[in-house]
Amino acid sequence: MPDAAPDLFAALFGDAEADARLSDQARLQAMLDVEAALADAEAHLDIIPRSAATAIRAVARAELLDPALITSEAAEAGNLAIPLVRQLTRIVAASDPDASRHVHWGATSQDIVDTGLVLQVRAAVPVILRHLERAEAAAARHAREHIDTVMAGRTWLQQATPITFGLKAAGWLDAMDRQRLALTGALEQARVLQFGGAAGTLAALGDRGEEVAERLAAILELRAPDVPWHAHRDRIATLACALGVTCGVLGKIARDLGLLAQTEVAEAADDLAGGSSSMPQKQNPVRASVALAAAGRAPGLVASILAAMPQEHERGLGGWQVEWTALPELIRVTAGASRTIGDALETLRIDEARMRANLNATRGLALAEAVTVSLSTHMARSQAHALVSAASRRARIDGIPLAEALAADPAVTSWMTRAQIDRLLSPDSYLGEARTFVERVLARVGNVHGR
């Protein structure tokens, strides 16, 4: 069979390791692993002969299957497990006809599909967690190194009061660490065996069903649930939501990186900058674009999984099938986003001089609040706000520093000298608890990661 067409966007939007663990080959192998483990569990409990389990495991290898035939037969069967079990049975029968009778004993298709998906999730999501740890380490380094690097804070895309780049990086770090913990918890919730048989009773196994389930879970290193969850998809949905929020967190960082790299701002830049087919000077923030694309795609994928939750009776019609493609794709885009943000933060170049110059470009307007606060000790805050607002307007219209506009107003100078005005308009004197906040995040996250 010829090789499948390559995914032209895989290297850009995905992650090679996560993609490999979510590939079609990996999906088939995961389901075969469940079939082999089921046979081992039943042989251990003397439900099927040990020789049958040995024969089944010996050929439970994806390379022995015909994927094209599985694809075509799945269109009629409605899922991949039915044609996979059919092929596995034929392969086993070729060497041991009696053993082939014991393939898939007591299970239903959804048991194999769901547990196979859980195995893939267990293999792929840790890739995201490792990238998040890399990104956190890089953000922590920036927070520590730039704890006193003053820059303009920005609200509504306009300069606000001063902050430090260390505070911005600490915000990234704090958000990523929260989401890494949330995603770890959601993965642990999802690490559960699905094994219920035709309608969730394991009736085909008589009074041995619970024993088989416990043994099967142990072999696969999954938890055995109290009850099969064929139509209860909350664990999968919780994982999907955690992945979606992770993409949003990474997208926020990507948005910041893109804005900081704008030509007119130029305060920080990712060393891997893409070029243009027509403009030789361009340095496009490629990595940020990947994370932003993931943040744009994730909500739709999450919504699809949430919309599929109300499933019918003991096993659903159509809702279950939504997850087959939506969840792996959601993991893929999250892996791509975490990879690129980790790479971007590791190679991020900071221009402290440009940060200071951009802040000073307003000629004191970014510190207007500091003057208002000081004047408010002598008059009503509304009056102080009105005085500073008027001075700010004069400064903008006349193109003069705010200090000059304030010094020209007797209502201001009756309460403060020009030297006091200049001190109030010094960015380094109006950083509030920025350093404390950075140190708090570094202390907490550093303790978690042993840094």
| Mean pLDDT for the stretch of residues 398-404 | 95
So what's the pLDDT on residue 275?
55
Range of the domain at 344: 10-356
The CATH number covering residue 376 comes to 1.10.40.30
Instruction: Tell whether 65 is covered by a domain.
Output: yes
Instruction: Tell whether 380 is covered by a domain.
Output: yes
The CATH number covering residue 45 comes to 1.20.200.10
Instruction: Tell whether 169 is covered by a domain.
Output: yes
| pLDDT beyond 60 at 443 | yes
So what's the pLDDT on residue 2?
41
Domain boundary, last residue among 305, 331, 356: 356
Domain boundary, last residue among 356, 380, 402: 356
So what's the pLDDT on residue 277?
47
The vertex-1 CA angle with 112 and 58, nearest 5°, equals 45
Domain boundary, last residue among 297, 323, 356: 356
Q: Does 372 share its domain with 352?
A: no
Q: Does 68 share its domain with 113?
A: yes
Distance, in Å, from the CA atom of 401 to the CA atom of 368, rounded to the nearest integer, reads: 11
Q: Does 284 share its domain with 376?
A: no
Compute the residue count for the chain: 451
Q: Does 384 share its domain with 265?
A: no
Alpha helices in 96-161, H assignment, sequence order: 97-100, 109-145
CB 173: neighbour CB atoms within 10 A? 28
pLDDT of 90-148, one tens digit each?
A: 999 999 999 999 999 999 999 999 999 999 999 999 999 999 999 999 999 999 999 99
| Residue 276 annotated among the catalytic residues of the structure | yes
For 247, the 3-state DSSP assignment is: helix
* Selected catalytic residue, list 180, 215, 297, 315: 315
pLDDT band per the 50, 70, 90 thresholds, residue 9:
confident
Question: Which letter, b or e, does each residue of 242-261 get, where b requires 16 or more Cβ atoms within 10 Å of its Cβ?
Answer: bbbbbbbbbbbbbebbbebb
Distance, in Å, from the CA atom of 133 to the CA atom of 150, rounded to the nearest integer, reads: 26
Q: Does 236 share its domain with 165?
A: yes
Q: Does 266 share its domain with 383?
A: no
Instruction: Tell whether 4 is covered by a domain.
Output: no
- The answer to whether 361 touches 376, Cβ cutoff 8 Å, is no
Which amino acid belongs to residue 28? L
Instruction: Tell whether 343 is covered by a domain.
Output: yes
Q: Does 289 share its domain with 415?
A: no
Q: Which of 355, 349, 303, 301 is nearest to 328 (CA)?
A: 301
Task: State how far the alpha carbon of 352 is from the alpha carbons of 111, 131, 214, in Å.
Answer: 57, 27, 59
Task: State how far the alpha carbon of 205 is from the alpha carbons of 103, 195, 200, 208, 212, in Å.
Answer: 14, 11, 12, 5, 8
| Mean pLDDT for the stretch of residues 266-277 | 72
pLDDT of 331-366, one tens digit each?
A: 999 999 999 999 999 999 999 999 999 999 999 999
Instruction: Tell whether 443 is covered by a domain.
Output: no
Task: State how far the alpha carbon of 194 is from the alpha carbons of 57, 85, 222, 308, in Å.
Answer: 20, 17, 10, 18
Q: Does 351 share its domain with 373?
A: no
pLDDT band per the 50, 70, 90 thresholds, residue 451:
low
* Selected catalytic residue, list 51, 276, 426, 429: 276
Write out the two tokens for 118: 């859980």
Q: Does 352 share its domain with 370?
A: no
DSSP state string for 59-91: T--GGGS-HHHHHHHHHHHSSSHHHHHHHHHHH
Looking at the 3D structure of the chain, how many domains does it have?
A: 2
Q: Does 148 share its domain with 223?
A: yes
Instruction: Tell whether 433 is covered by a domain.
Output: no
Q: Does 14 share its domain with 141?
A: yes
Half-sphere exposure of 4 (CA within 13 A, CB side): 9
pLDDT band per the 50, 70, 90 thresholds, residue 369:
very high
pLDDT band per the 50, 70, 90 thresholds, residue 162:
very high
| pLDDT beyond 50 at 38 | yes
Q: Does 350 share its domain with 420?
A: no
So what's the pLDDT on residue 280?
47
Instruction: Tell whether 70 is covered by a domain.
Output: yes
For all residues of the chain together, what is the average pLDDT? Answer: 94
